[in-house]
Structure 1
């Protein structure tokens, strides 16, 4: 019987064979290899065997020339090449070529645009420079409201209709679902003006996200034709259309399908790794303990005076709380032994509800926020919530024993499921990494930290190994656990059927560390990356930059043979962005690559275009916004001017007030009643809920209108990017009041920040809050109102964006303190 020949993989230097007719004793023993290489060898081999993946070229060579010939065909690597650089070597990512744009062709295109587009849509001289750029690389600095989208659409039209370039040789990259949808709509409309029927499906294939472009590359690898992205679990598109799926790279939320995989991996690792189980137990103990409070804290000083009174009512209070928990089905909890032991607080006795089994840690039940805030004990003067707050404060200040305070029923249920060993329950507690704004479920915290590390182009385990923490810092345990968990998770995901892989792993497989993998791709998969136009490039991450550079280098390496018989030749890159609008550094993006564009993407020739016309905002809004970012590192020579209809708008300074929700609502309603579009921007969800109570008249009016006619938008500062309104109301300052030891360390590892800066991430974030304020202000067409919290005197001026407001300038009206 003729044998079946399957492809062997060499992954991280390890040959991974399946269905092999003979043992491979000559291979390097996997035990001598680093963990990820052993992991990759094991899981990829298992996955390929399970999927019965075959590689046609290997089969034919093996059948014709023997086993050894067949097994050498396919090589997949995940390592960094160590070739030495050669002085004078051409490091350009592009051939030395120019777009064939003759003077006659330019004249004809301009005439057609003048005839078909309305007068207000005619390109400016700077926009024509963008459209007609003929160099391999082009950097377009486009401030807020610069009209970049129409210019990019005309660029595509020029390439397709006037130069004959095939659309499958181009990709336009947008970052968000809404921007992609808007760009596709505009592209179809403009093509129609030239009597070109651009089918929506073709337009969707042209306008993509980075994530939808990487997926087909991975699926071309043997054994991974059905691979799913972890980030897309639970949101799968119909078969064959997954590559069209929109993905928001800044969406951190996890769904049930993703949590199921995370929890299953956690349960398996907990059973297999004693060290992981030990760390998790220590982290749980650390995370659940009631955090101490300084006895000199004002809240303590206020409540310590009623210590004796609180102790007298404590046993009855415990009974009331316990009854509520019992009625809710949340008590007793398996794994917690009920008991009423006592604690001495300043000579008075207080009670606990139980003890964590197998430990000396006491447990106290809290007052669930879902219960009525007015609930009282019979005959009591204070509500139960207030009585319980007094007890909590006293325990925080004066209890010297380990104590778990269960704040609510849901927290207790998660803990109970975890203690009971429920396979899909997860750890059951939250952990707060130093520098993060809030605690998160442990596995969510793992995913967030790992994504940040990988977005910086680093591998999790080497990055963790290079970190250091003070003795006794629980973050050291957190990151040790992360290293164990992340390698187990990648193996677990690949072991699914079909296999699952994170987008970061996909980009890493085809990044600069692994150029050999790109060489395996057919021309048809690389061709769409030949002529790239990327919007919002200031938000790109180091991981994406590595993939782009590797892809462009591979396209150049293949040379003219890749483009035989086609009009589109060579490769080009056009990046459009605004470093002043880079606001996703907390996720791992950096404006560095846009600001250092010619260094990042070396080219024989480069064009820089400055789009300084702002077609959205009146001039005083522009001036105020630019003043807010004047102290941040930026591309030199930027100064926007109101243009088109915006230049005719009457000026009005940006008005800054102390925070006053009723006053904000009153002014917003006045603008709304004048028929203007209004936008309320907030930093926290609680601020929106607070404002909803003040905006009821407008909210009720909006519900009566069709969606297209609604004039109120309530958005976070970040999500407002790309939008506009006649009047913008900003609630809350842009602040960076923390410090992230772990992010500072990995920032240095990634080479970000200035040399010698020991806190480069913190420095970048202080710059970013100024840029976030710039983005918010430039949403306004006519009016902008900013309501900020009073300065407490503790924060450095660079930690609050409003500290850049200068009331002496005509474009600001600082009414704080009036």
Structure 2
């Protein structure tokens, strides 16, 4: 037997000359990519031997492993939380029901008036959650009514389990009439009262739930407190986004205010400080355009200021408006940029200086003296501008004898009665009475889903900003007002508080509502979802969740299902500045989680406007990032003679010509206005024509505000005015950030909402037109931030004739 060759020497064991030769030979073998057979065989045998040795050592260890019996280490497992608002049941829309409804629609409506495929998708949806979107004129409301018809007429769901919610009282009345007409076509006869029980606003639906509780049966919403319209059914709808106060509301607010003013020292101090801020002459920066223009004249008038002060004071004394109680009548000289100017008095209680101005009742041609080159009222205005820019202390500039008398009276009664005054938050167009302002701001906070009392602690202001006083005052006052209203013979509660009680995230009030009342919302259909508020969305979630919770408690609930159908268009979201939010549409999946995939349908055919009108309206909103991704297409029957939107100047005869041309063709005209100035301009231009039309019982011309244009349409639409994005407001931006409007980290969400609203108002106005649209935009207040400027109007869609 051949013996294995002897193992080779280690390289380090060889003599130097042999080690050198071995290294050279090894390098050569590597270079030639060859091998030395003996060395390779020796390495192979060595590797096998090591492998066998290792296996032998492992086997005994494997035999020592013990079998471990029993449960592994304890882990605490918890059940998950069911997040879905709906069960797994689908709405049982059978093939027979589908065929029957389609056949009846063809027989009743005719082949050319059938719902489109996109509409049928919504009408026959089997999912508990259905979302329908579409541009203006695509038939969203009509489809929603067909959906209600399918649920009742073809699936046998009782009418007392179907609730349709719409935006306003006017929309409710119109929708109820349409429901009655449609159901009648299919053999379902409904009375007007029955329709109004099916069609409600969120407010009236909530109120019916609240008043079903014995302890709240007589509750009155503050928004309609003291109102007594003939139509009591509609009283509960309130006036969404209309915060005007009635006499009884104002009386109770004033009574609460004075009680708090006399009994709460901190409140009275804040109130007087805010009153002082409202009296203070508004400050102007030294580089303001008005200051730069008037300053040269003002510096020259310095040498005549004593004479000017005497002349003005003589007028006030002649009018018996000077001196006044509470104001120390004494001259004091101040140096402004090295020049001397005089004040007329000082108010110790407010620590404010007083300068008398020029009352408008005096003749405009008066001068301070025969040598004066400028009228007195102009010199007073120049001095006022300098004081606004350079006066170092707090100053009141009295420009009216009547206002001065009211000021003296308020000072005289300051210890026992709260002064009545107006205030303007930064960004507001003009001051309004404080109680009206409080009511409007509280309504905005309620709509945004914010607690009025706690907002002050979540906002911040620059030092000296009087808006900080306003916010703190409102928080204290509104808590006192709600307590005061609850103490009346019939409890009065603001709608914001009612929504918080029955729809808030921590509210349990909805659990006490009787089954027959909350069951009316088992199948909920919401129209105009883009202009509902945050509390409405929370309340809808609470209602659906409560219905499901009750069904889960029943031993047998087979066949009982609930559904939600939402219709809206984020491009027509026009009440964002009042606190409305399109999140019912944009956050549909998050708000209404459903185990069954929801049905979504985008209506893409417009049955109202001609294509040029549709494209022009879409051009205004396509940059906003909400709403339809493309403009709807006009159906074939609307391919009539049409034209681009006509941009016209400020000439009244142009409006007269438009109305004459429309009347000659028998067309209806809708005039939309943006402000009271626009209303007066329209009245001067075509007021007689409108009044004559009314006297003859016609409605050939209607005039409405831009914000009230939705749900209207006409052959010809005339837009008078230019919706404005307004002025930036630090306070409102903070509120909208708190309410969750800061999409993408937007630092000024309030300004963003106002910007978009201006464009959407114009979009809605344009898309009310069937054939023609004319726009008189020159009456816009803010030429830099109006819809016609912000919209980037395409010449191919808008023809500028100004």
Q: Identify the residue that residue 456 of structure 2 maps to in structure 1.
A: 464
SS in 1 for 2:631: coil
Query: 2 CA distance for matches of 1:110 and 1:314?
Result: 85
The answer as to 2:482 corresponding to 1:496 is no
- Residue number among 98, 102, 117 corresponding to 2:109 in the alignment: 117
Q: Identify the residue that residue 29 of structure 2 maps to in structure 1.
A: none
- Residue number among 668, 674, 678 corresponding to 2:658 in the alignment: 668
Q: 1:219 to 1:177 in 2, by over 3 A?
A: closer
Query: 1 CA distance for matches of 2:688 and 2:86?
Result: 58
- Residue number among 738, 754, 757 corresponding to 2:743 in the alignment: 754
- Residue number among 274, 283, 292 corresponding to 1:292 in the alignment: 283
- The alpha carbon displacement at 1:544 in A equals 1.1
Q: 1:561 to 1:161 in 2, by over 3 A?
A: farther
The answer as to 2:589 corresponding to 1:598 is yes
SS in 1 for 2:672: strand
Query: 2 CA distance for matches of 1:98 and 1:512?
Result: 28
- The alpha carbon displacement at 1:779 in A equals 1.6
The answer as to 2:770 corresponding to 1:781 is yes
- Residue number among 337, 340, 350 corresponding to 2:327 in the alignment: 337
The answer as to 2:708 corresponding to 1:719 is yes
SS in 2 for 1:772: helix
Q: Identify the residue that residue 802 of structure 1 maps to in structure 2.
A: 789
Q: Identify the residue that residue 477 of structure 1 maps to in structure 2.
A: 469
Query: 1 CA distance for matches of 2:554 and 2:240?
Result: 31
Structure 2, gaps ≥5 residues long: 1-76
Q: Identify the residue that residue 198 of structure 2 maps to in structure 1.
A: 206
Q: 1:194 to 1:789 in 2, by over 3 A?
A: closer
Q: Identify the residue that residue 273 of structure 1 maps to in structure 2.
A: 264
Q: Identify the residue that residue 177 of structure 1 maps to in structure 2.
A: 169
> In the TM superposition, what whole-angstrom CA distance separates every residue of 1:232-253 from its partner, at most 9, and x where no partner exists?
11214689x5675332211121
Q: 1:194 to 1:806 in 2, by over 3 A?
A: closer
The answer as to 2:541 corresponding to 1:555 is no
> In the TM superposition, what whole-angstrom CA distance separates every residue of 1:85-118 from its partner, at most 9, and x where no partner exists?
9785331111122222222222222222233336
- The alpha carbon displacement at 1:801 in A equals 4.8
Query: 2 CA distance for matches of 1:685 and 1:373?
Result: 28
The answer as to 2:154 corresponding to 1:162 is yes
- The alpha carbon displacement at 1:154 in A equals 2.4
> In the TM superposition, what whole-angstrom CA distance separates every residue of 1:744-771 from its partner, at most 9, and x where no partner exists?
2233323322243222222233233222
> In the TM superposition, what whole-angstrom CA distance separates every residue of 1:558-587 from its partner, at most 9, and x where no partner exists?
00677989x993211111100000011111
Q: Identify the residue that residue 42 of structure 2 maps to in structure 1.
A: none
Query: 2 CA distance for matches of 1:396 and 1:772?
Result: 37
Instruction: Assess if the C-alpha contact under 8 Å between 2:358 and 2:399 holds in 1.
Output: yes
Query: 1 CA distance for matches of 2:781 and 2:661?
Result: 31
- The alpha carbon displacement at 1:618 in A equals 0.9
- The alpha carbon displacement at 1:383 in A equals 8.0
Query: 1 CA distance for matches of 2:358 and 2:556?
Result: 72
Q: 1:137 to 1:379 in 2, by over 3 A?
A: same
Q: Identify the residue that residue 67 of structure 1 maps to in structure 2.
A: none
- The alpha carbon displacement at 1:686 in A equals 1.7
The answer as to 2:781 corresponding to 1:812 is no
Q: 1:388 to 1:220 in 2, by over 3 A?
A: farther
Choose 375-384 or 593-602, whichever is displaced more: 375-384
> In the TM superposition, what whole-angstrom CA distance separates every residue of 1:96-148 from its partner, at most 9, and x where no partner exists?
22222222222222222233336664322222222222211111103211223
> In the TM superposition, what whole-angstrom CA distance separates every residue of 1:638-696 from its partner, at most 9, and x where no partner exists?
43011264x23223112335x52436434434434434322332322122223422334
Structure 1, gaps ≥5 residues long: 1-84
Instruction: Assess if the C-alpha contact under 8 Å between 2:620 and 2:792 holds in 1.
Output: yes
Instruction: Assess if the C-alpha contact under 8 Å between 1:160 and 1:166 holds in 2.
Output: yes
- The alpha carbon displacement at 1:777 in A equals 1.3
- The alpha carbon displacement at 1:475 in A equals 1.9
Query: 2 CA distance for matches of 1:479 and 1:490?
Result: 17
> In the TM superposition, what whole-angstrom CA distance separates every residue of 1:269-290 from its partner, at most 9, and x where no partner exists?
1122211111111111111111
Q: Identify the residue that residue 588 of structure 1 maps to in structure 2.
A: 579
Q: Normalising to structure 1: TM-score of the pair?
A: 0.79
Q: Identify the residue that residue 652 of structure 1 maps to in structure 2.
A: 643
The answer as to 2:715 corresponding to 1:729 is no
- The alpha carbon displacement at 1:461 in A equals 3.1
Query: 2 CA distance for matches of 1:717 and 1:493?
Result: 34
Q: 1:621 to 1:242 in 2, by over 3 A?
A: closer
The answer as to 2:514 corresponding to 1:525 is no
Q: Identify the residue that residue 28 of structure 2 maps to in structure 1.
A: none
Q: Spell out the pairing of 1:360-439 with structure 2 (5 A cutoff).
A: 360-363=351-354, 389-390=381-382, 392-406=384-398, 418-419=410-411, 421=413, 427-439=419-431
SS in 2 for 1:279: helix
Q: Identify the residue that residue 761 of structure 2 maps to in structure 1.
A: 772
Q: Normalising to structure 2: TM-score of the pair?
A: 0.81
Q: Identify the residue that residue 9 of structure 1 maps to in structure 2.
A: none
Q: 1:664 to 1:248 in 2, by over 3 A?
A: farther
Query: 2 CA distance for matches of 1:238 and 1:333?
Result: 52
Q: Identify the residue that residue 5 of structure 2 maps to in structure 1.
A: none
Query: 2 CA distance for matches of 1:682 and 1:373?
Result: 35
Instruction: Assess if the C-alpha contact under 8 Å between 2:167 and 2:527 holds in 1.
Output: yes
- Residue number among 526, 540, 543 corresponding to 1:534 in the alignment: 526
The answer as to 2:713 corresponding to 1:738 is no
- The alpha carbon displacement at 1:523 in A equals 0.5
SS in 1 for 2:85: coil
Q: Identify the residue that residue 93 of structure 1 maps to in structure 2.
A: 85
Instruction: Assess if the C-alpha contact under 8 Å between 1:205 and 1:244 holds in 2.
Output: no
Instruction: Assess if the C-alpha contact under 8 Å between 2:286 and 2:390 holds in 1.
Output: yes
- The alpha carbon displacement at 1:549 in A equals 0.6
Query: 2 CA distance for matches of 1:468 and 1:765?
Result: 21
Query: 1 CA distance for matches of 2:131 and 2:416?
Result: 48
Query: 1 CA distance for matches of 2:518 and 2:447?
Result: 22
- The alpha carbon displacement at 1:736 in A equals 2.0
Larger radius of gyration: 2
- The alpha carbon displacement at 1:499 in A equals 1.4
SS in 1 for 2:420: coil
Q: Identify the residue that residue 241 of structure 2 maps to in structure 1.
A: 250
- The alpha carbon displacement at 1:743 in A equals 2.6
SS in 2 for 1:171: strand
Query: 2 CA distance for matches of 1:333 and 1:678?
Result: 57
- The alpha carbon displacement at 1:338 in A equals 6.8
SS in 1 for 2:745: coil
SS in 1 for 2:743: coil
Q: 1:383 to 1:494 in 2, by over 3 A?
A: farther
Query: 2 CA distance for matches of 1:794 and 1:802?
Result: 7
Instruction: Assess if the C-alpha contact under 8 Å between 1:581 and 1:772 holds in 2.
Output: yes
Q: Identify the residue that residue 52 of structure 2 maps to in structure 1.
A: none
Query: 1 CA distance for matches of 2:105 and 2:401?
Result: 64
Q: 1:642 to 1:339 in 2, by over 3 A?
A: same
Q: 1:270 to 1:732 in 2, by over 3 A?
A: same
SS in 2 for 1:576: strand
Query: 2 CA distance for matches of 1:578 and 1:211?
Result: 21
Instruction: Assess if the C-alpha contact under 8 Å between 1:136 and 1:604 holds in 2.
Output: no
Query: 1 CA distance for matches of 2:402 and 2:538?
Result: 42
Query: 1 CA distance for matches of 2:402 and 2:521?
Result: 48
Query: 2 CA distance for matches of 1:172 and 1:577?
Result: 13
SS in 2 for 1:223: helix
Number of residue-to-residue matches in the alignment: 716
- The alpha carbon displacement at 1:789 in A equals 4.3
